[in-house]
Homo-oligomer: A and B are copies of this chain.
Amino acid sequence: MLGNTFGRVFRVTTCGESYGGALATICDGVAPGLELCDADIQVELDKRRPGQSEIDSPRQETDRVTIFSGLRNGFTTGAPVGMIVHNVDTMPQHVKEYEDVKDLIRPGHAEYTYRCKYGDYADWCGAGRASGRETVGRVAAGAVAKKILAREGITIVAYVKELMDIVADVSGMSAEEREANSLKNEIFCPDLATAEKMIEFTRQIKADGDTVGGVVEIFATGVPPGLGEPVFDKISGTLAHGLMSIPAVKGVEIGAGFRSSLMRGSECNDIPYMKDGQVRFRTNNSGGIDGGITNGEDLLIRIAVKPTSTISIAQSTVNMATLEDAELAAITRRDATICGRMCAVAAAMTRITVLDHLMMWRGYDAVSGIEHKLGW
């Protein structure tokens, strides 16, 4: 693999797999003087931790994180922040269970593509590096970014907006409310009444042995105008990169997204107007991004999460060793949906990306010496 590093200036590198010894993150580009402790990271990790409710995977991982470098007396020093989480629920019987089926493609999973790429050496245990467990590393880095962004007045939250065809209503809620409410239920949905329906529906789906997907929405306030680097590194492009790289994500849209393909120009264009001496826009079809650069409005991004591939229903498949058709039995250790747990991951990737752009832009701007009359 060549792709375990993300970001140009705030740069995150991770390693670790489902049934390896540990998952680690090295966060480069962390400014000095930031007060930081294990608990700052832990609180974010706890949001994506499995085994917390009946709709999650029953895997028991405490996900205790230790910051082992980059600090002196509780403050960052400018050195890269190293963080490690040891895997604990990797008992031999589970390894054995995976070994027994290691040649069977689990439909919707990555066994086949990893085997094509890495041959017989591909890690077959619990999906190896393709497992959602790698997102521990993303969340840890995102927790560092979150603290730096907070000092800049930038708040980024993520929550379940849709579960299959059940749609939450978050209109009028602030970023803080969206987060606070979503933490009140196991599906991470800020609309509490709808959350109940989502949970109930997930229970039914689970009882059927099946799984369900949805849409996670990311909402950011306080993002200053000017972030994003044309042409290829527009913030829309790098956000899409980061979010689409999350396991199970199959689509990313910004603002009106695919809905804008159904609008006329006169309807889609956000009309600017002056308000309290600031340029604002009457609508936010742009999702806060024009020409790949933030415009000061709230960022609004949506990602499509496919239903968990692992189901408790037998499926036809192929044995990769014998190259024969085969049957895969129902699997019971699984998440009925990962939409809720994914919120922490989506927020983390967005935070990492926004901070990276903020730092690039500040460096670029610092040597220009120009006067900013707008948007600052």
Q: Are B1 and A69 in contact (CB under 8 A)?
A: no
* CB atoms of A15 and B108 under 8 A apart: no
Q: Which of B23, B122, B269, B292 contacts A311 (CB 8 A)?
A: B269
Interface residues of A in 7-39 (CB under 8 A from B): 8-9, 11, 13-17, 20-24, 26, 28-29, 31-34
Which residues of chain B are within 8 angstroms of A241 by Cβ–Cβ distance? 232, 237-238, 240-241, 244
Does A220 sit within 8 A of B, measured CB to CB? no
| Segment at the interface with B among A43-51, A187-195, A206-214 | A206-214
Contacts of A360 in B (CB 8 A): 2, 9, 363
Cα separation A110 to B109 with both chains bound (whole Å): 40
Chain B proximity of A74: nearest CB distance (Å):
10
Per-position 1/0 for A354-376, Cβ under 8 A of B = 01001111111111111111111
Q: Which of A66, A250, A279 has the most CB of B within 10 A?
A: A250
Q: Answer yes or no: A113 CB below 8 A from chain B CBs.
A: yes
Given contacts A24-B24, A82-B22, A121-B32, contact A108 B265 (CB under 8 A): yes
Q: What is the count of identical protomers in the complex?
A: 4
For A66, A277, A308, A373, which residue has the most chain B Cβ atoms within 10 angstroms? A373
Q: Is the interface of A mostly helix, strand, loop or mixed?
A: mixed
Nearest CB in chain B: distance from A332 CB, A = 14
Residue interface bits A298-310, CB-to-B below 8 A is 1, else 0: 0000001111111
Q: Cβ of B290 and Cβ of A230 under 8 Å apart?
A: no
Which chain B positions have C-beta within 8 A of A271? 107, 315-317
A294 CB–B CB distance under 8 Å: yes
**Judging by beta carbons under 8 Å apart, are A268 and B32 in contact?**
no
A78 cross-chain contacts in B, Cβ below 8 A:
1, 114, 117-118, 121-123, 129, 368
Q: How many chain-A residues does the 8 Å CB contact rule pick out?
A: 178
Asked if residues B116 and A296 are in contact (CB atoms below 8 Å), the reply is yes
The A171-219 residues at the B interface (CB cut-off 8 A) are 205, 208-215
The residue in chain B whose Cβ has the minimal distance to the Cβ of A151 is B369
B23 touches A69 (CB 8 A): yes
Give the residues in chain B near A366, CB-CB below 8 Å. Answer: 359, 362-363, 366
CB-defined contacts of A32 to chain B, threshold 8 Å: 118-119, 121-122, 368, 370
Q: Verify if A168 is at the interface (C-beta below 8 Å from B).
A: no
Task: Decide if A88 is an interface residue (CB 8 Å cutoff).
Answer: no
Query: A120 at the A/B interface (Cβ < 8 Å)?
Result: yes
A59 at the interface (CB under 8 A from B): no
- Compute how far the CA of A24 lies from the CA of B168 in the bound complex, rounded to whole angstroms: 43
| 9 residue pairs bridging A and B, Cβ less than 8 Å apart | A15-B82, A17-B69, A33-B121, A78-B368, A117-B225, A209-B266, A213-B263, A236-B245, A236-B249
The 7 closest A-B pairs by CB, nearest first: A110-B291, A363-B363, A3-B233, A3-B229, A31-B368, A251-B253, A237-B245
